Each structure stands twice: as structure tokens, then as C-alpha cells.
A and B are shown apart, each in its own frame.
Chain A
Amino acid sequence: MNKLFPTQEVGSLRKPFWLVEGLRGNVLSAEAFAEMRKWAKTVAIPEGQDPRIGKLLDGKVGDLTAQDLREVGSLFALRYLEKAGLDLVYDGEMRRVEMYEHPIRNALGFKFLGHVRSFDNKYYLKAACVDEVGLKGPYDVDEFKFVREHAKGIPKVPVTGAYTLADWSWNEYYLKKLKGWKGPEERRTAQREFGVELARKVVRPTLLALVEAGAKVIQIDEPAAGTHPDETDLVVETFNESTYGVDAKLTMHICFSDYRCLFPRVLDAKRCKQFLLEFANRDVEGIDGYKDLEYLADVDNSREVGVGVLDIHRDTIETPEKVCERILKATRILKDPSRIYVNPDCGLRTRSLDVAWQKLNAMVNGAKLARSRIG
């Protein structure tokens, strides 16, 4: 992009009450109505923009199909992010259950076993791979076409990476192929086969279909990348397998990981032009959370860095001044401001729409402030 410190989202937003209640087939609660009216006004979605919005505001949720609701949800999130002033936008993953379950439901060979804890008392539905991996059909293409048609800014599609899909699943099928005691080496061998199969048979066909549909920027989400320090080569291999022949700007999102284990080896993912990383979470009083940017400072200055400036696990609203300070700190470490993009640490679905709105506004204003200080 031409301007310094472009701002971007990372993926998810919390789904509005009206969308959740509507998809469950419920009559909308007073809370859902109030939220819908507030945000329709705040993000300026006029009823004329889509007749389905008028129906929702009139309380005629029963007249809308699940598809209608999801599309209105996408439109809402797009306008929300655009109104906040972000340069790169998507639809807050309004149509997806969440980043793991969504692709797995579009893949073959999996069986959901139940919920497991991710953090605090938050759980996700986890599946086991019980058969050879396959794909029902490329996913996210209709979603992308809708976003492309309605977006005023540049759409950036998030797609969960093969390494993360493998790491967050139980690998029964490929592990069972091995005989005897299944120690770390044996498990790693089975995991490699599983990850590469996912890359070739699930993620890559989806990326190719997205490019065919016009996607220019694709973010591969690999939050699991730092889970096993000895598997960075597999993160790279699955990224390279997934993106072979994919003609788009490709980025990789990693969070809540020890970056020392990943850099510089992860730079072997040659087609990755940008790494979007979490930093604000670790930038707490008395600790310089941005120090870890040093691992990227001198290794390869052709790569951009999406610097996380919003903590997505706390309600405290960062001030524009704090965001600016973080951007300028990143600039001092990376030396080249043109390498820096600005984003939240991760998807903002963990926060309420009110809190996320204030945080995103602070981020956009902080980036403006940083631009003015760089001159």
C-alpha cells in the first residue's frame, strides 16, 4: 500500500445477538433489537442498502433464511470495519462457526468428538481424523464473492492453515498406520503425513478457488505454529504445499507463541509476504512486549510485519497514544516503516462489539498519529 502503517483486521468479530438468535430460529430479544438498531445507526447501514435489513429492523426475522441472515451479518461486519476506518477488511467471519470447526465441516475424514478447553473457560469443538483426508468442495468462495461485491476497502480473506487444522485435531487415522510404541518421533511422522495431506487436499484447492474468484490478499491463519518448537519445518512445509501455484498476496497470522522458536526458520515459507503477529498481550507494565520483534529485525527485510497493537483478551481500551507508541517502537526495531502493518493481536471475537469498536477506533487513530510523527 502507498500509505504508511496500513490498518487491517485479523479475522473474527463477535457475532451480533440478532444473528445468533436468528440462526437459532428464535424471536429476537429486546437486547438483540437494541444492539441491531444501535449498530445500524453507528455503522450507517441504511435500510435501502439491502431490503433484508429493513425486515430485520421491523422484527420480521422469520421472513429471512439462514443464508439471508448470514449475508446481512457479513454486510454488517464489513460496514463496521470500514466505518472504523480500516484499510483491509473482511466480514468478521460472520458466516463461519469458528476458524477450526468451519473448515473441518467442509473436509472429509473427520469425526467431531466433543468440546475441549482452549483458554479460561472457553471451549471449542474438536474432531478426530478417522479416515483419509479429503474435501467436500472448496469453501469460503461464495462468502468471498459477497464480500468482494460489497466491500469498499480491500478484502483480505482469512483461511485456517493446514498445520493448525492438523494440530487442533486428533490424528487417529495416520497414527494408526504406525506400529508399536508411539513416542515423539512416531507421532511427528504421523503428524507430518496428516498436515501435508490437509495442505494438498483441503487448503490448497480452497486457496486456488478463492484466487479464481478474485481474491488478491489471503491470510493463512496458523495460531498453532508455535505449539511444537521442533515442528517449524512442518509449518513451512504445509504452508508451501498449500500455496503452491496460488497467485495472491499471501500472509501468515501467528499468535500466543514463542517467536524465538519460529524465526528465522519460518521465513522458509517463501511465498509468505507478511507475518501478522500478536504483541500487545505480552506488553504489560514493566515488560517490553515488543522486544520479540527483534527476531524479525535483521533476518529478511523483504517481509512485512503486521504488528499486533490491541490486546484481544482484555477489555481495557488502548489509547491512540499507546497504539502510536507501539507502532513507533516497532519502527525503531524493524528500522523500515514501510514494512509495518497495524492490526489487533488476533480476531476480536473475544470482545463485545462495543469494546472491539473502541479498540479499532483507537488503532486507526493511533496509526494516523504515528504517520504524522514519522512525517
Chain B
Amino acid sequence: MFKLESEKGFSWITGGHLGWQDLFRPYVEASEGLVTGPLTRWFTTNTFYRRPVVEKLPALRPGALATSFPKQGRPLATIVPGPYTFSELAENRSSEDHEIVASAISTFLANAVRELAQAGVGLFIVHEPLLVVRPPDKKREKEILGLYKPLEKALQSGNSLLWTYFGDAAPVMPLLKRLPVGGVGVDLSETRPSELTSFVKTKSLGLGCIDARTSLPEDPRDIAEIARDLDGRLSPRGIVLGPSVPLDLLPWEPACVKADVLSQSARLIRGE
């Protein structure tokens, strides 16, 4: 995977997280206080995750996460479950209230980010599908911003991108823009590009432009056109291209074809 990502010219490599059984599992297994729970459907897919179960407020077991990131000679990226998605999907069986548990999960994730940064990870992609699948109402926005407080400083130790998928990001954009991350990614299979009408100049805009929910390859020219349009209209700090949803929903060969589409699109946009 590291080799493939390098060959495709990706700016950041991840190793594909092939050993991860679901988004939460490595973090649950690196914790004290969290255990794996019932098998649960992963949004609108035929893949399943073990729901994290909070038995007591979680703490990071030092060193448990960093070992899975060997030095590769290229900048490393990794995925971090977002505190909103993590705390909302977790089963709270502790004696603490949901808000206290959610805050503890955020602190736990911040400690994980710090440890991974020390291990050489330079880009943190914070996955927050639930923010667009089950957007918080106005009243909860302050709570969500509070949830990101513990993570804010930790994420500054590297680059960060918040990635949303499985839902339309346009209605939630006012909140997404305020979160303390370096960029915001949207799922272009769920979000009409024309519905994205404002952004901020200080953050990068991530375009989830190759879709692992279909085996049909996208046309790099279409992606380049959308990217140029959004870049021109919204003037983000930069444009980041990526998959709309993680590519592990595809088998190897179609995933490689899509990865190729991604690098072709980037070259087209750069005018190479």
C-alpha cells in the first residue's frame, strides 16, 4: 500500500489502514475504559463495525497506537474518528452523563493525536460522517465546538482535515467552517457542488470526488472542472482531492483505477 500510494504521487501516504477492522477498533483497543460492543451497520453500507462501549472514562494506553505507523520516508497521514461521531455512536455504559463521556472521548482522541504526531504522523484526517448524516441542531452547535476544544491544540501539531461523508455537507457548512481544523472535506456524491456557496479563505476545501460506493470510474475532466469552479467561487486556502468515502468499500483493482483517476485529476488541475 505504501508503495502504491507513493507511485500514484500522493502527497500523504497512509498504508491503507489495512489492519483496521473498523474506524474505531484501533482506538478502542488502545484504550482503557472502552471495549468492543455489538456488530452494527456502518451507515448505508454492507459493512459493519463493533460499536464502542464506554465502560468507564477512556484513557490512552501509552504506545499502543504508534506502533502501527512505521517510518516510510514520506509524510504520513492517518485517520482519527471525530469526537462527535465517536461519542454519538458509542454505547455509554459508564455511570457518567453523555456530555462528560463525550468530553472524555475528545480528550482521549487528543492524546492519541499527540502520540501519533510524535511517531511521525503529519496529517490527521478526522472522520465525522455523523455531522452530515445526523447534523446537530442549532442548540447543539456550541456543544460540538466545545467537543473540539481538547483536540484543537493537538491537531495543530500537524496538518488536519475534517472529512464528512454519507451525507450532504451544504446545510452544515456554517458549523463545519468554524471547527478548528485545517480543512473540511465533503462527499460530492451527496453534496451538489452548486449548493456549496460559501467557505473560508483560511481552510482547505476537501473534495470527495472518487466514490467507493460505485465501481464506475469517474472522469478526471469532470473532477477538474468541479474543482476549478469551487476554487474560483469559494477561494479556499487550497483544494484537496480525496475519496468521498474510504476506498475499502471497493476491491483492490477498482480501487486502484479510482486512485489513478484521483492523481490524473490532480495533474489536470495543476495543468501538468
Contacts and interface: CB of A to CB of B under 8 A. Distances in A.
Interface of A: 113-121, 126, 128, 167-168, 170-172, 175-176, 181-184, 187, 224, 226-229, 256-258, 281-282, 284-287, 289, 313
Interface residues of B, number: 29
30 contacts: A113-B251, A114-B250, A114-B254, A117-B249, A119-B21, A119-B48, A119-B49, A128-B215, A170-B215, A172-B215, A175-B214, A175-B216, A176-B216, A181-B192, A182-B189, A182-B214, A183-B189, A183-B190, A187-B189, A224-B46, A256-B41, A256-B48, A281-B38, A282-B38, A284-B38, A284-B53, A285-B93, A286-B93, A287-B91, A313-B39
B187 to A, nearest CB: 10
Contacts of A183: 189-190, 192
A116 B93 CA distance: 32
B45 interface: yes
Given A116-B249, A171-B214, A258-B41, 9 more contacts: A114-B252, A114-B254, A116-B250, A118-B46, A120-B21, A168-B46, A170-B214, A183-B189, A257-B41
A227 B41 contact: yes
Contacts, number: 79
A182 B219 CA distance: 13
Interface in B55-101: 91, 93
B156 to A, nearest CB: 33
A291 to B, nearest CB: 13
Contacts of B21: 119-121
B229 interface: no
Contacts of A226: 41
A121 B41 CA distance: 15
Listed from nearest, the 9 A-B pairs whose CB atoms lie closest are A114-B251, A119-B48, A170-B215, A128-B215, A286-B93, A281-B38, A228-B44, A120-B21, A282-B38
B248 interface: yes
Contacts of A115: 251
Interface in B110-156: none
Interface of B: 21, 37-41, 44-50, 53, 91, 93, 189-190, 192, 214-216, 248-254
Given A121-B21, A126-B251, A227-B46, A184 B190 contact: yes
Nearest to A130: B215
A89 B216 CA distance: 41
Contacts of B50: 120
A284 B37 contact: yes
Given A116-B250, A118-B46, A121-B21, A256 B216 contact: no
B214 A172 contact: yes
Nearest to B53: A284
Given A227-B44, A284-B38, A114 B253 contact: yes
A360 B241 CA distance: 51
Given A281-B38, A313-B39, A116 B251 contact: yes
